[in-house]
Structure 1
């Protein structure tokens, strides 16, 4: 496998694994995401789409899309750092609330779990899911760029 193909595979695998973990913790572990948790997912979704598209393109546009996917992965990591900082009370977060999709009715408001962005629902050795996403995403993004550099 060439370094470019490895970069493309990592640009797909890193956000796919992160999203699998996020969705698994939500639907299997019943850890409902707060608004900032959703913000961390958006760049991963973009990175997955870019990495899939890159598999079907010639070398030069492929490199560009893989690079954009790496940037998206790093953006998720940056949001994860911000979110972890809010959870650890290093700085204040945004004071907006979040809800699930659908029509807003009194019943839907009352049925929506109240998930605070400044309180970690789960930690492992003091590291929250936002912290793990930050670590995973930053290492993944750097790894993609390192492989892209080797592919020159």
Structure 2
């Protein structure tokens, strides 16, 4: 049987069966990639990078919860996983805007204000944890930063999951 002989219903059913594995695999791969960039590549994450990781952790957790479920509960958890990916895409989009200078980052995205500090206060500030700026592009591929790639991946996969699950639910009701 060739792919041209497969009906739309069969393709949709195949997509529905793959959705939970995609919902697990994409955030897991993104998290592993981020950790590899950090610990192997030497690219420490900024505050917004951490927030994007939290979105992937939420998406992964919800997808793992969905896997043993069935019916409406599985659809709900899978959609929730996709929404976590879309929230991560929103954070990544904000991060891209900070990198491009379209808007200012958050207070934790830059070095603290040291104006007016005495020497003891300045020493204390400098001894605190390293600040990784959110507006500096540490790595890019084809002119797209890591935040940009995360935006594209998270948005595409999040929308695809919602579409397949919603389309599958609508077809079952018809």
Structure 2-normalised TM-score?
A: 0.76
- Which is richer in helix? 2
The correspondence for 2:53, drawn from 32, 38, 41, is 41
The correspondence for 2:148, drawn from 121, 131, 148, is 131
Contact map agreement 2:82 2:158 (CA 8 A) in 1: yes
Q: CA deviation at 1:150?
A: 3.6
Contact map agreement 1:4 1:147 (CA 8 A) in 2: yes
Q: Cα RMSD between the aligned structures? A: 2.1
2:81 equivalent in structure 1: 69
Report runs of 4+ in structure 1 exceeding 6 Å deviation: none
* Structure 2, unaligned runs of 5 or more: 1-12, 111-122, 170-174
Query: Of the two structures, which has the highest relative contact order with CA contacts closer than 8 Å and spacing of 6 or more?
Result: 1
Structure 1-normalised TM-score?
A: 0.86
2:134 equivalent in structure 1: 117
How many residues get paired?
Answer: 145
* Structure 1, unaligned runs of 5 or more: 99-105
Q: Which protein shows a greater Rg?
A: 2
Supply the distance in 2 between the matched residues of 1:81 and 1:10 (Cα, whole angstroms): 22
Contact map agreement 1:7 1:145 (CA 8 A) in 2: no
Going from structure 1 to structure 2, the CA distance change for 1:97 and 1:85 (only over 3 Å counts) comes to: closer
